[in-house]
Structure 1
């Protein structure tokens, strides 16, 4: 542990950027190597909308190649999951250590990603010595000193800080934290002023959970922001954590974001995950896909929403199961780093589509075709429907009953009751008259021998909604399994 309380802020990256600017102004041509960026990556979709898509990082996970690949290619913003919190940066009073936080900052800089700071003042994860401070004046001094050092250390690198985190109760009252009870109402204002002094360029945010809807808690924060802006207290942005439960995205999320934006501040979804009871089934994953799409769409539709950050990459390292027993599967990649339908939802929310393989045909002499069932090919399809009035949701499972893997699939069937497909997930579904064609998503193209994959879609009907009589997989007839 080192005493960095008097060291100057790290500014070695900004001069490098300034040098690039000088060269560009002089007409120099600079080739800057970048990662390959497919049109359907989340970061490319975000960039096209002038937004960022971020993730919470624990830097040790970067040692796993699958994790590193996703982190490198899908995101253009990074937030330290824990490494910049008070307990990590000032474990003893006025003794600062930044190794873990610097690792996150260095990763962000090396990949050209923005760095988001989390969190300077929070009623959790502060060191034990803070509890030993009895007087409000001394605690205020310690808080301001902590902000000055940590925000000062990362000045010029962090684009925004969660200055104060989770300061309100669900009923809109102030949380009775150590800062509230010993310093009083002024502690939030003092924290923001200290952060502005430490890093004048960083955006300063207040961040909280259960504020995604227009409710007592979000309104209390709205009133605080309105008060701060009216009096010139520095505040630039509001973070909405969005730790959501399956199927419970607030219908007024977008309206809530917009009312804060109308106050003249930026908004951001800061800690998105959507937890569900495990193990997840196909229907739950389809709902989760829709939930992710709703959140990303809400941000896309509000100009001052700077982007969406997800609280982790893979279910393997999610905080959810430890805090909510029986729940999990909250992120866009599963424990084996396979994309889940939620990824498709996020991409769609930012205006993207999932590219699926195009079936190919050959002429002349026979040759291997990756879009047909393998040797000993066979398939079975189960088709289940939940319907209401003139709408329905269908869930389809395709099982490979052959002895070889299917690599790329196209499932076809016909409707006889005038049904029309309106929206699909985990596949691309098109319809021409009564004929319907579903092709795999990028992440579920392969079906091993004895394995299966599932997808779903919504549709409309006119009162008669009979199930298809037959299905073909890559041109081969399938048996019908129990739906």
Structure 2
């Protein structure tokens, strides 16, 4: 979920229309996002997911359980987005707080919200080095013991949500920045084969779910994304069920836009796997100002355009949609304002830039 290592700065390409529109919005000319209008709607009344759906994509948001008590927030969450990702309630510490004792209460709450609003759910995440329960991290496990624990966890969680979760981040953040394997508990005990095992077990539990590897700092072509490219190529050659690669998309204005994002998405598509932008936010050094918000809007448009340009980029998820619930300020001191809506649920220039990028209707073939 975090982004640390960064590419060399790259100058943003000129997009005067987006910058002028953003400036106009900041001057007070913006209007609130239009409500959903159903079939036969005008483009102006469509939600972000409606517009994405016209391109065969989804547009989603992450959420977390405490936020579901915020009625103005949930009204937008339920209306604007086609998919929901639970930020924390499907992670290991939430779903198996004691060995062999599973608790799906919080995950079910998110699923129930999504189903009530006719939204699909991306599962996040079956296997991660962080947010593991104490009983697991404090134990001393043989390879056979840990393998049995991992299999039971993956299959129990996936079976519980069978038919309710359309895609899973099976293995999350398993590579270091230099492209070597992260030496987490599972790697140190089981070796790299644990990744293929987890994918196979998840597929056995729900053969219809799409299975992803997911990480940060992989938006550009470099050692880390190269490592995933080689891993997925090998997994495919070995017949392992891997269906997608998730590029989290935690970006920061001060470090430059990943200019070869589209090329990177395309090379994974060429391996015959889907890609998705799974945790997008674009932070800035605070305070925000008109120039930063205009540049942020441009970046959101460019991320959207890169996904639309690659046929197997299936969707975009923002890591929650409002600055009210962003994780950024707690982890990056002095940074924030990363999402398309501000703390007061007012749409920012980024929102309108995303709409503009999605609003170009696909050509009929």
TM, length-normalised to structure 2: 0.85
Match of 2:145 in 1: 138
Greater strand share, 1 or 2? Answer: 1
Match of 1:333 in 2: 341
Cα distance in 2 for partners of 1:249, 1:44 equals 27
- After superposition, what is the alpha-carbon deviation per residue over 1:281-306, rounded to whole angstroms, capped at 9, x for unaligned? 00000000001001011001111011
Cα distance in 2 for partners of 1:119, 1:99 equals 16
SS of 1:296's equivalent? helix
Cα distance in 2 for partners of 1:112, 1:316 equals 24
Cα distance in 1 for partners of 2:93, 2:151 equals 15
Q: Say yes or no: does 1:123 pair with 2:124.
A: no
Q: For 1:346, which of 328, 331, 354 is the aligned residue?
A: 354
Q: Say yes or no: does 1:224 pair with 2:231.
A: yes
- 1:55·1:310 contact (CA, 8 Å) conserved in 2? yes
- 2:246·2:277 contact (CA, 8 Å) conserved in 1? yes
SS of 2:320's equivalent? coil
SS of 2:166's equivalent? strand
Match of 2:102 in 1: 96
RMSD of Structure 2 on Structure 1 (CA): 1.4
Match of 1:87 in 2: 93
Match of 1:233 in 2: 240
Cα distance in 2 for partners of 1:99, 1:166 equals 25
Match of 2:171 in 1: 164
TM, length-normalised to structure 1: 0.65
Q: Could you list the runs of 5+ residues in structure 2 that have no partner in the other structure?
A: 1-34
- 2:78·2:114 contact (CA, 8 Å) conserved in 1? no
SS of 1:164's equivalent? strand
Match of 1:187 in 2: 194
Cα distance in 2 for partners of 1:290, 1:300 equals 15
Shift of 1:136: 1.9
Shift of 1:65: 2.6
Q: For 1:54, which of 60, 77, 80 is the aligned residue?
A: 60
Q: Say yes or no: does 1:252 pair with 2:260.
A: yes
Q: Say yes or no: does 1:64 pair with 2:70.
A: yes
SS of 2:293's equivalent? helix
TM-aligned CA distance change 1:133 to 1:36, over 3 Å = farther
Shift of 1:352: 5.2
Q: For 1:282, which of 266, 287, 290 is the aligned residue?
A: 290
Cα distance in 2 for partners of 1:181, 1:302 equals 36
Cα distance in 1 for partners of 2:310, 2:359 equals 14
SS of 1:217's equivalent? helix
SS of 1:244's equivalent? strand
Aligned ranges for residues 29-48 of structure 1 at < 5 Å? 36-37=37-38, 39=43, 40-48=46-54
Q: For 1:302, which of 301, 310, 314 is the aligned residue?
A: 310
Shift of 1:134: 2.4
Cα distance in 2 for partners of 1:170, 1:349 equals 31
Shift of 1:349: 2.2
Cα distance in 2 for partners of 1:290, 1:156 equals 37
Q: For 1:213, which of 202, 212, 220 is the aligned residue?
A: 220
Match of 1:177 in 2: 184
- 1:169·1:175 contact (CA, 8 Å) conserved in 2? yes
Shift of 1:348: 2.0
SS of 1:158's equivalent? coil
Greater helix share, 1 or 2? Answer: 2
Cα distance in 2 for partners of 1:338, 1:177 equals 40
Alignment: residue pair count: 320
Shift of 1:35: 5.8
Cα distance in 2 for partners of 1:48, 1:154 equals 28
Match of 1:318 in 2: 326
Cα distance in 1 for partners of 2:226, 2:157 equals 30
